[in-house]
Chains A and B, each alone.
Chain A
Amino acid sequence: MDCSEVEELSGAIALRALPPGEALQVEEHLASCQQDHSSLLTLGQVASLLPFAVEEIEPPARLKQNLLAAALSDAAAAGGAAPRLAVVPAADEHPAETDAGTAPRPMVTLPVRGRRLWQQPGVWAAAAAILVAIGLGAWNFSLQQRLNNRDAANARQAQALTTLAAAARVVPLSGSGGLQLAFAAAPNGTGSLVLSNVPAAPAGKVYQAWFIRDGKPVSAGVFNGAGVAVVPLQGSAAGAQTVAVTLEPLGGSLLPTGQPIEAATLGS
Protein backbone atom coordinates (compact mmCIF):
# COMPACT_ATOMS: atom_id res chain seq x y z
CA MET A 1 0.00 0.00 0.00
CA ASP A 2 1.34 3.42 -0.90
CA CYS A 3 0.61 6.96 0.20
CA SER A 4 -2.04 7.63 -2.41
CA GLU A 5 -3.94 4.51 -1.43
CA VAL A 6 -3.83 5.53 2.22
CA GLU A 7 -5.16 8.95 1.32
CA GLU A 8 -7.90 7.39 -0.76
CA LEU A 9 -8.90 5.34 2.29
CA SER A 10 -8.65 8.25 4.73
CA GLY A 11 -12.40 8.54 5.16
CA ALA A 12 -12.81 4.82 5.80
CA ILE A 13 -9.87 4.92 8.21
CA ALA A 14 -11.35 7.80 10.17
CA LEU A 15 -14.68 6.01 10.39
CA ARG A 16 -13.10 2.65 11.23
CA ALA A 17 -14.66 1.13 8.17
CA LEU A 18 -11.65 -0.81 6.98
CA PRO A 19 -11.68 -4.59 6.64
CA PRO A 20 -9.06 -6.21 8.90
CA GLY A 21 -6.55 -6.90 6.17
CA GLU A 22 -6.48 -3.37 4.91
CA ALA A 23 -6.25 -1.95 8.42
CA LEU A 24 -3.08 -3.93 8.86
CA GLN A 25 -1.67 -2.70 5.57
CA VAL A 26 -2.40 0.89 6.50
CA GLU A 27 -0.78 0.39 9.84
CA GLU A 28 2.33 -1.03 8.25
CA HIS A 29 2.53 1.82 5.79
CA LEU A 30 2.19 4.52 8.42
CA ALA A 31 4.75 2.89 10.64
CA SER A 32 7.44 3.51 8.06
CA CYS A 33 6.14 6.38 5.94
CA GLN A 34 7.79 9.78 6.22
CA GLN A 35 5.19 11.63 4.18
CA ASP A 36 2.55 13.94 5.55
CA HIS A 37 -0.65 12.04 6.36
CA SER A 38 -2.18 14.73 8.53
CA SER A 39 -5.46 14.27 6.68
CA LEU A 40 -6.01 11.13 8.73
CA LEU A 41 -5.93 13.10 11.94
CA THR A 42 -8.09 15.83 10.49
CA LEU A 43 -10.78 13.44 9.35
CA GLY A 44 -10.48 11.50 12.58
CA GLN A 45 -11.26 14.67 14.48
CA VAL A 46 -14.28 15.30 12.31
CA ALA A 47 -15.47 11.73 12.84
CA SER A 48 -15.05 12.11 16.58
CA LEU A 49 -17.84 14.69 16.52
CA LEU A 50 -20.38 12.28 15.08
CA PRO A 51 -21.69 11.04 18.45
CA PHE A 52 -23.31 14.44 18.78
CA ALA A 53 -25.50 13.69 15.79
CA VAL A 54 -27.34 11.10 17.84
CA GLU A 55 -30.72 11.84 19.36
CA GLU A 56 -30.13 11.52 23.07
CA ILE A 57 -32.15 9.16 25.18
CA GLU A 58 -32.12 8.68 28.91
CA PRO A 59 -30.39 5.53 30.13
CA PRO A 60 -32.16 3.48 32.79
CA ALA A 61 -31.23 4.32 36.39
CA ARG A 62 -29.94 0.80 36.91
CA LEU A 63 -27.11 1.45 34.48
CA LYS A 64 -25.41 3.85 36.88
CA GLN A 65 -26.08 1.61 39.84
CA ASN A 66 -24.69 -1.41 38.03
CA LEU A 67 -21.66 0.54 36.87
CA LEU A 68 -20.78 1.76 40.35
CA ALA A 69 -21.30 -1.68 41.84
CA ALA A 70 -19.08 -3.20 39.16
CA ALA A 71 -16.40 -0.61 39.77
CA LEU A 72 -16.38 -1.35 43.48
CA SER A 73 -16.25 -5.05 42.79
CA ASP A 74 -13.51 -4.52 40.25
CA ALA A 75 -11.42 -2.52 42.68
CA ALA A 76 -11.86 -5.12 45.38
CA ALA A 77 -10.93 -7.94 43.03
CA ALA A 78 -7.86 -6.10 41.81
CA GLY A 79 -6.77 -5.36 45.35
CA GLY A 80 -6.26 -1.75 44.42
CA ALA A 81 -6.35 1.30 46.60
CA ALA A 82 -9.46 2.17 48.52
CA PRO A 83 -12.44 2.88 46.31
CA ARG A 84 -14.45 5.83 47.43
CA LEU A 85 -18.00 6.52 46.48
CA ALA A 86 -20.52 9.18 47.17
CA VAL A 87 -24.06 8.37 48.07
CA VAL A 88 -26.05 7.43 45.01
CA PRO A 89 -29.41 9.17 45.04
CA ALA A 90 -32.43 7.42 43.68
CA ALA A 91 -33.15 8.14 40.05
CA ASP A 92 -36.05 10.44 40.75
CA GLU A 93 -33.88 12.48 43.07
CA HIS A 94 -31.26 13.02 40.44
CA PRO A 95 -32.79 14.44 37.26
CA ALA A 96 -30.80 14.32 34.07
CA GLU A 97 -28.45 17.19 33.66
CA THR A 98 -29.16 19.73 31.01
CA ASP A 99 -26.87 20.18 28.09
CA ALA A 100 -25.55 23.34 29.63
CA GLY A 101 -24.94 21.51 32.84
CA THR A 102 -22.79 18.93 31.21
CA ALA A 103 -20.59 21.45 29.49
CA PRO A 104 -19.74 24.37 31.71
CA ARG A 105 -16.92 25.51 29.54
CA PRO A 106 -16.90 28.77 27.63
CA MET A 107 -17.95 28.72 24.02
CA VAL A 108 -15.69 29.65 21.16
CA THR A 109 -16.26 29.29 17.47
CA LEU A 110 -15.44 26.08 15.75
CA PRO A 111 -13.46 27.63 12.90
CA VAL A 112 -10.83 29.06 15.22
CA ARG A 113 -10.53 25.81 17.03
CA GLY A 114 -10.50 23.76 13.87
CA ARG A 115 -7.83 25.69 12.10
CA ARG A 116 -5.65 25.74 15.15
CA LEU A 117 -5.68 22.01 15.52
CA TRP A 118 -5.64 21.08 11.91
CA GLN A 119 -2.80 23.38 11.04
CA GLN A 120 -0.46 22.13 13.69
CA PRO A 121 2.75 20.93 12.06
CA GLY A 122 3.68 17.31 12.36
CA VAL A 123 0.32 16.11 13.54
CA TRP A 124 0.33 13.35 10.95
CA ALA A 125 2.74 11.42 13.12
CA ALA A 126 0.09 11.28 15.79
CA ALA A 127 -2.33 9.88 13.27
CA ALA A 128 0.17 7.20 12.46
CA ALA A 129 0.45 6.47 16.15
CA ILE A 130 -3.24 5.72 16.30
CA LEU A 131 -2.84 2.87 13.91
CA VAL A 132 0.49 1.67 15.15
CA ALA A 133 -1.01 1.46 18.60
CA ILE A 134 -3.72 -0.80 17.27
CA GLY A 135 -1.33 -3.69 17.32
CA LEU A 136 0.63 -2.80 20.41
CA GLY A 137 -2.10 -1.50 22.63
CA ALA A 138 -3.22 -4.82 24.09
CA TRP A 139 0.16 -5.93 25.28
CA ASN A 140 1.14 -2.54 26.59
CA PHE A 141 -2.11 -2.04 28.41
CA SER A 142 -1.94 -5.43 30.09
CA LEU A 143 1.62 -4.86 31.25
CA GLN A 144 0.80 -1.42 32.54
CA GLN A 145 -2.13 -2.75 34.51
CA ARG A 146 0.01 -5.38 36.20
CA LEU A 147 2.62 -2.82 37.13
CA ASN A 148 -0.03 -0.50 38.48
CA ASN A 149 -1.53 -3.25 40.63
CA ARG A 150 1.83 -4.14 42.11
CA ASP A 151 2.62 -0.52 42.80
CA ALA A 152 -0.76 -0.01 44.37
CA ALA A 153 -0.22 -2.92 46.78
CA ASN A 154 3.07 -1.47 47.93
CA ALA A 155 1.59 1.95 48.17
CA ARG A 156 -1.23 0.84 50.45
CA GLN A 157 1.03 0.09 53.37
CA ALA A 158 2.88 3.35 52.98
CA GLN A 159 -0.41 5.17 52.65
CA ALA A 160 -1.70 3.80 55.96
CA LEU A 161 1.48 4.72 57.79
CA THR A 162 1.58 8.16 56.24
CA THR A 163 -2.02 8.81 57.15
CA LEU A 164 -1.48 7.78 60.75
CA ALA A 165 1.74 9.75 61.04
CA ALA A 166 0.13 12.88 59.69
CA ALA A 167 -3.02 12.62 61.78
CA ALA A 168 -3.71 15.20 64.41
CA ARG A 169 -5.67 12.57 66.32
CA VAL A 170 -6.35 8.86 65.97
CA VAL A 171 -9.51 7.36 67.43
CA PRO A 172 -10.24 3.64 67.27
CA LEU A 173 -13.77 2.56 66.38
CA SER A 174 -15.53 -0.19 68.23
CA GLY A 175 -18.79 -2.08 67.87
CA SER A 176 -20.42 -5.32 66.94
CA GLY A 177 -18.82 -5.59 63.52
CA GLY A 178 -15.51 -6.94 64.77
CA LEU A 179 -13.63 -4.71 62.36
CA GLN A 180 -10.29 -3.13 63.13
CA LEU A 181 -10.84 0.48 62.20
CA ALA A 182 -9.44 3.78 63.33
CA PHE A 183 -10.40 7.30 62.44
CA ALA A 184 -7.38 9.46 61.65
CA ALA A 185 -8.28 13.13 61.85
CA ALA A 186 -6.22 15.42 59.66
CA PRO A 187 -5.30 18.90 60.88
CA ASN A 188 -7.43 20.51 58.18
CA GLY A 189 -10.65 18.97 59.49
CA THR A 190 -10.83 16.09 57.05
CA GLY A 191 -10.22 12.53 58.06
CA SER A 192 -9.63 8.98 56.95
CA LEU A 193 -10.50 5.53 58.13
CA VAL A 194 -7.47 3.33 58.55
CA LEU A 195 -8.32 -0.35 58.13
CA SER A 196 -6.46 -3.38 59.37
CA ASN A 197 -7.39 -6.62 57.65
CA VAL A 198 -10.98 -5.60 57.22
CA PRO A 199 -12.80 -8.27 55.21
CA ALA A 200 -14.80 -7.45 52.13
CA ALA A 201 -18.34 -6.34 52.80
CA PRO A 202 -20.90 -9.16 52.48
CA ALA A 203 -22.27 -9.83 49.02
CA GLY A 204 -24.61 -7.11 47.90
CA LYS A 205 -23.43 -4.74 50.62
CA VAL A 206 -20.87 -2.00 51.10
CA TYR A 207 -19.53 -0.33 54.18
CA GLN A 208 -20.64 3.25 54.51
CA ALA A 209 -19.05 5.85 56.76
CA TRP A 210 -20.98 8.65 58.40
CA PHE A 211 -20.24 11.81 60.29
CA ILE A 212 -22.96 12.40 62.85
CA ARG A 213 -23.63 15.95 63.95
CA ASP A 214 -26.31 16.59 66.53
CA GLY A 215 -27.80 13.21 65.76
CA LYS A 216 -27.92 13.78 62.01
CA PRO A 217 -25.81 11.42 59.90
CA VAL A 218 -24.06 12.72 56.78
CA SER A 219 -22.50 10.23 54.42
CA ALA A 220 -18.72 10.26 54.29
CA GLY A 221 -18.45 7.69 51.50
CA VAL A 222 -18.70 3.96 50.96
CA PHE A 223 -15.99 1.35 50.71
CA ASN A 224 -15.43 -2.34 50.28
CA GLY A 225 -12.92 -3.42 52.85
CA ALA A 226 -10.91 -6.10 51.07
CA GLY A 227 -7.39 -5.00 50.26
CA VAL A 228 -8.01 -1.50 51.49
CA ALA A 229 -5.75 0.28 53.96
CA VAL A 230 -7.01 3.83 54.01
CA VAL A 231 -10.38 5.28 53.12
CA PRO A 232 -10.18 9.06 52.80
CA LEU A 233 -13.57 10.23 53.97
CA GLN A 234 -15.62 12.77 52.14
CA GLY A 235 -16.57 16.00 53.78
CA SER A 236 -15.32 17.55 56.96
CA ALA A 237 -15.34 16.04 60.40
CA ALA A 238 -15.68 19.49 61.90
CA GLY A 239 -18.56 19.63 64.34
CA ALA A 240 -19.20 15.91 64.19
CA GLN A 241 -19.59 14.19 67.52
CA THR A 242 -19.39 10.68 66.09
CA VAL A 243 -17.95 8.80 63.16
CA ALA A 244 -19.77 5.58 62.37
CA VAL A 245 -19.81 2.75 59.85
CA THR A 246 -22.88 0.87 58.68
CA LEU A 247 -23.53 -1.85 56.15
CA GLU A 248 -25.62 -0.58 53.25
CA PRO A 249 -26.85 -1.83 49.89
CA LEU A 250 -24.45 -1.46 46.95
CA GLY A 251 -24.08 2.15 45.99
CA GLY A 252 -24.72 3.37 49.51
CA SER A 253 -27.74 4.97 51.11
CA LEU A 254 -28.91 8.50 51.64
CA LEU A 255 -29.47 7.73 55.30
CA PRO A 256 -28.33 4.74 57.35
CA THR A 257 -30.62 1.77 56.95
CA GLY A 258 -29.34 0.02 60.05
CA GLN A 259 -27.44 0.51 63.26
CA PRO A 260 -23.71 1.29 63.16
CA ILE A 261 -21.51 -1.77 63.29
CA GLU A 262 -18.56 0.38 64.36
CA ALA A 263 -18.44 3.87 65.82
CA ALA A 264 -16.24 6.26 67.72
CA THR A 265 -16.93 9.40 69.69
CA LEU A 266 -15.07 12.41 68.40
CA GLY A 267 -16.34 14.95 70.88
CA SER A 268 -17.92 18.17 69.77
Chain B
Amino acid sequence: MQADRTDEDLVAALAARDASALEALYERYGRLAFSLAVRIVAAPETAEEIVQEAFLSIWRGAATYQPGRAAVRTWLLSITHHRAVDAVRRRSARVQTAPLEDQAQYVGVQDVWSDVSASLVRDEVRSALSRLPEEQRQSIELAYFGGLTYPEIAEKLGLPLGTVKSRLRLGLQKLQGLLENPNLRADPR
Protein backbone atom coordinates (compact mmCIF):
# COMPACT_ATOMS: atom_id res chain seq x y z
CA MET B 1 0.00 0.00 0.00
CA GLN B 2 2.90 2.33 0.78
CA ALA B 3 4.16 1.91 -2.78
CA ASP B 4 1.04 3.66 -4.01
CA ARG B 5 1.75 6.74 -1.97
CA THR B 6 3.66 9.58 -3.52
CA ASP B 7 6.61 11.14 -1.77
CA GLU B 8 4.42 14.11 -1.00
CA ASP B 9 1.81 11.81 0.56
CA LEU B 10 4.49 10.31 2.74
CA VAL B 11 5.74 13.68 3.93
CA ALA B 12 2.18 14.71 4.74
CA ALA B 13 1.93 11.53 6.79
CA LEU B 14 5.22 12.35 8.50
CA ALA B 15 3.77 15.67 9.54
CA ALA B 16 1.03 13.65 11.25
CA ARG B 17 3.78 11.67 13.00
CA ASP B 18 3.17 8.51 11.01
CA ALA B 19 6.45 6.68 11.39
CA SER B 20 5.42 4.04 8.88
CA ALA B 21 5.70 6.79 6.28
CA LEU B 22 9.26 7.40 7.43
CA GLU B 23 9.99 3.75 6.91
CA ALA B 24 8.49 3.91 3.43
CA LEU B 25 10.54 6.96 2.56
CA TYR B 26 13.65 5.24 3.82
CA GLU B 27 12.88 2.21 1.68
CA ARG B 28 12.77 4.47 -1.35
CA TYR B 29 15.78 6.64 -0.79
CA GLY B 30 17.82 5.23 2.09
CA ARG B 31 20.11 3.30 -0.20
CA LEU B 32 20.78 6.26 -2.46
CA ALA B 33 21.31 8.62 0.45
CA PHE B 34 23.64 6.18 2.18
CA SER B 35 25.63 5.65 -1.01
CA LEU B 36 25.99 9.39 -1.50
CA ALA B 37 27.13 9.89 2.07
CA VAL B 38 29.66 7.06 1.89
CA ARG B 39 31.05 8.45 -1.35
CA ILE B 40 31.63 11.81 0.31
CA VAL B 41 32.82 10.89 3.79
CA ALA B 42 34.40 7.54 2.89
CA ALA B 43 33.43 6.18 6.29
CA PRO B 44 30.34 3.97 6.53
CA GLU B 45 29.78 4.61 10.22
CA THR B 46 29.80 8.37 9.70
CA ALA B 47 27.57 7.93 6.67
CA GLU B 48 25.04 6.08 8.81
CA GLU B 49 24.88 8.99 11.22
CA ILE B 50 24.51 11.45 8.39
CA VAL B 51 21.70 9.55 6.71
CA GLN B 52 19.87 9.05 9.97
CA GLU B 53 20.07 12.74 10.73
CA ALA B 54 18.97 13.64 7.21
CA PHE B 55 15.85 11.50 7.49
CA LEU B 56 15.17 12.85 10.96
CA SER B 57 15.39 16.35 9.53
CA ILE B 58 12.62 15.42 7.11
CA TRP B 59 10.68 13.85 9.97
CA ARG B 60 11.00 16.98 12.07
CA GLY B 61 10.48 19.45 9.25
CA ALA B 62 7.70 17.67 7.39
CA ALA B 63 5.06 20.07 8.65
CA THR B 64 6.81 22.94 6.94
CA TYR B 65 7.29 21.18 3.62
CA GLN B 66 5.80 22.96 0.63
CA PRO B 67 5.30 20.55 -2.26
CA GLY B 68 5.45 23.21 -4.97
CA ARG B 69 8.91 24.35 -4.05
CA ALA B 70 10.96 21.20 -4.23
CA ALA B 71 10.74 17.46 -4.50
CA VAL B 72 11.08 15.40 -1.36
CA ARG B 73 13.94 13.48 -2.93
CA THR B 74 15.76 16.70 -3.76
CA TRP B 75 15.25 17.90 -0.23
CA LEU B 76 16.49 14.70 1.35
CA LEU B 77 19.57 14.29 -0.83
CA SER B 78 20.42 17.94 -0.47
CA ILE B 79 20.43 17.60 3.30
CA THR B 80 22.48 14.43 3.03
CA HIS B 81 24.99 16.09 0.75
CA HIS B 82 25.32 19.13 2.90
CA ARG B 83 25.80 17.20 6.12
CA ALA B 84 28.33 14.93 4.49
CA VAL B 85 30.32 17.84 3.11
CA ASP B 86 30.21 19.49 6.50
CA ALA B 87 31.58 16.31 8.06
CA VAL B 88 34.42 16.23 5.57
CA ARG B 89 35.25 19.86 6.18
CA ARG B 90 35.19 19.42 9.92
CA ARG B 91 37.41 16.40 9.64
CA SER B 92 39.84 18.30 7.51
CA ALA B 93 39.96 21.11 10.05
CA ARG B 94 39.15 23.55 7.33
CA VAL B 95 37.04 26.61 7.80
CA GLN B 96 33.45 25.60 7.42
CA THR B 97 31.11 27.20 5.00
CA ALA B 98 28.36 29.36 6.30
CA PRO B 99 25.78 27.11 7.92
CA LEU B 100 23.18 26.07 5.43
CA GLU B 101 20.17 25.08 7.43
CA ASP B 102 18.32 22.06 6.25
CA GLN B 103 15.26 24.10 5.63
CA ALA B 104 17.14 26.23 3.15
CA GLN B 105 18.28 23.29 1.16
CA TYR B 106 15.20 22.90 -0.90
CA VAL B 107 13.96 26.43 -1.23
CA GLY B 108 13.46 27.14 -4.87
CA VAL B 109 15.05 23.94 -6.11
CA GLN B 110 12.32 22.40 -8.16
CA ASP B 111 12.20 18.73 -8.89
CA VAL B 112 14.04 17.67 -11.97
CA TRP B 113 13.28 14.03 -11.35
CA SER B 114 9.61 13.98 -10.64
CA ASP B 115 8.62 12.48 -13.95
CA VAL B 116 11.66 10.42 -14.72
CA SER B 117 12.56 6.89 -13.85
CA ALA B 118 15.35 6.76 -11.32
CA SER B 119 17.15 4.12 -13.30
CA LEU B 120 16.98 6.18 -16.46
CA VAL B 121 18.37 9.19 -14.66
CA ARG B 122 21.11 7.12 -13.10
CA ASP B 123 22.30 5.79 -16.43
CA GLU B 124 22.10 9.16 -18.08
CA VAL B 125 23.92 11.03 -15.37
CA ARG B 126 26.73 8.51 -15.23
CA SER B 127 27.03 8.52 -18.98
CA ALA B 128 26.98 12.30 -19.22
CA LEU B 129 29.50 12.70 -16.41
CA SER B 130 31.85 10.27 -18.08
CA ARG B 131 31.73 12.32 -21.27
CA LEU B 132 32.84 15.54 -19.68
CA PRO B 133 36.34 16.70 -20.41
CA GLU B 134 38.52 15.12 -17.76
CA GLU B 135 39.56 18.39 -16.16
CA GLN B 136 35.94 19.52 -15.79
CA ARG B 137 34.77 16.18 -14.39
CA GLN B 138 37.65 16.16 -11.94
CA SER B 139 36.86 19.64 -10.64
CA ILE B 140 33.16 18.90 -10.31
CA GLU B 141 33.83 15.69 -8.42
CA LEU B 142 36.31 17.34 -6.10
CA ALA B 143 33.70 19.97 -5.29
CA TYR B 144 30.58 17.85 -5.04
CA PHE B 145 31.92 14.55 -3.76
CA GLY B 146 35.13 15.80 -2.20
CA GLY B 147 33.61 18.71 -0.35
CA LEU B 148 36.35 21.08 -1.49
CA THR B 149 35.78 24.76 -2.08
CA TYR B 150 36.96 26.11 -5.39
CA PRO B 151 40.08 27.76 -3.88
CA GLU B 152 40.93 24.42 -2.29
CA ILE B 153 40.53 22.72 -5.65
CA ALA B 154 42.79 25.35 -7.22
CA GLU B 155 45.41 24.74 -4.57
CA LYS B 156 45.17 20.99 -4.88
CA LEU B 157 45.51 21.04 -8.64
CA GLY B 158 47.94 23.95 -8.80
CA LEU B 159 45.62 26.02 -10.97
CA PRO B 160 44.58 29.67 -10.99
CA LEU B 161 41.30 30.39 -9.23
CA GLY B 162 39.70 31.61 -12.44
CA THR B 163 40.48 28.34 -14.16
CA VAL B 164 38.70 26.32 -11.49
CA LYS B 165 35.70 28.64 -11.50
CA SER B 166 35.47 28.23 -15.25
CA ARG B 167 35.80 24.46 -15.08
CA LEU B 168 33.01 24.17 -12.56
CA ARG B 169 30.71 26.46 -14.52
CA LEU B 170 31.49 25.09 -17.96
CA GLY B 171 31.43 21.53 -16.68
CA LEU B 172 27.90 21.87 -15.33
CA GLN B 173 26.81 23.62 -18.51
CA LYS B 174 28.30 20.83 -20.55
CA LEU B 175 26.59 18.28 -18.30
CA GLN B 176 23.29 20.03 -18.90
CA GLY B 177 23.86 19.85 -22.63
CA LEU B 178 24.74 16.18 -22.49
CA LEU B 179 21.61 15.41 -20.49
CA GLU B 180 19.50 17.32 -22.98
CA ASN B 181 20.98 15.75 -26.10
CA PRO B 182 19.44 12.33 -26.72
CA ASN B 183 22.04 11.43 -29.32
CA LEU B 184 24.88 11.96 -26.90
CA ARG B 185 22.97 10.14 -24.20
CA ALA B 186 22.47 7.11 -26.38
CA ASP B 187 26.11 6.81 -27.36
CA PRO B 188 27.88 3.94 -25.72
CA ARG B 189 30.96 4.88 -23.83
Which 4 A-B residue pairings sit nearest by Cβ, starting from the closest? A11-B168, A126-B108, A11-B169, A137-B101
Which chain B residues border A148 with CB–CB below 8 Å? Answer: 63-64
Complex Cα distance A9/B153, Å?
14
Q: A residues within 8 Å of B by Cβ? A: 7-12, 14-20, 23-24, 41-60, 62-64, 66-68, 70-72, 74-75, 78, 80-86, 88, 94, 96-97, 99-111, 113-115, 117-118, 123, 126-130, 133-138, 140-141, 144-145, 148, 221-222, 234
- Inter-chain CB contacts under 8 Å: number: 297
Name A127's contact: one of B81, B108, B122 (CB within 8 Å). Answer: B108
B83 to chain A, nearest CB (A): 12
Which chain A residues border B74 with CB–CB below 8 Å? Answer: 48
Q: Is B118 an interface residue (CB 8 A)?
A: yes
B19:A72 contact, CB within 8 angstroms = yes
A253 to chain B, nearest CB (A): 15
A148 to chain B, nearest CB (A): 5
Complex Cα distance A134/B64, Å?
16
B52:A66 contact, CB within 8 angstroms = yes
Complex Cα distance A136/B61, Å?
15
B25 to chain A, nearest CB (A): 10
Which chain B residues border A102 with CB–CB below 8 Å? Answer: 27-29, 31-32, 118
Which chain A residues border B162 with CB–CB below 8 Å? Answer: 8
A17:B19 contact, CB within 8 angstroms = no
Which residue of chain A is the closest to B78 with respect to CB atoms?
Answer: A48
- 13 other A-B residue contacts (CB within 8 Å) besides A11-B169, A17-B144: A8-B162, A12-B143, A16-B144, A42-B176, A48-B78, A85-B23, A99-B117, A102-B31, A102-B32, A104-B3, A118-B176, A136-B104, A140-B103
CB within 8 Å of A: which B120-144 residues: 120-122, 124-126, 129, 140, 143-144
B115:A59 contact, CB within 8 angstroms = no
Which residue of chain B is the closest to A85 with respect to CB atoms?
Answer: B19
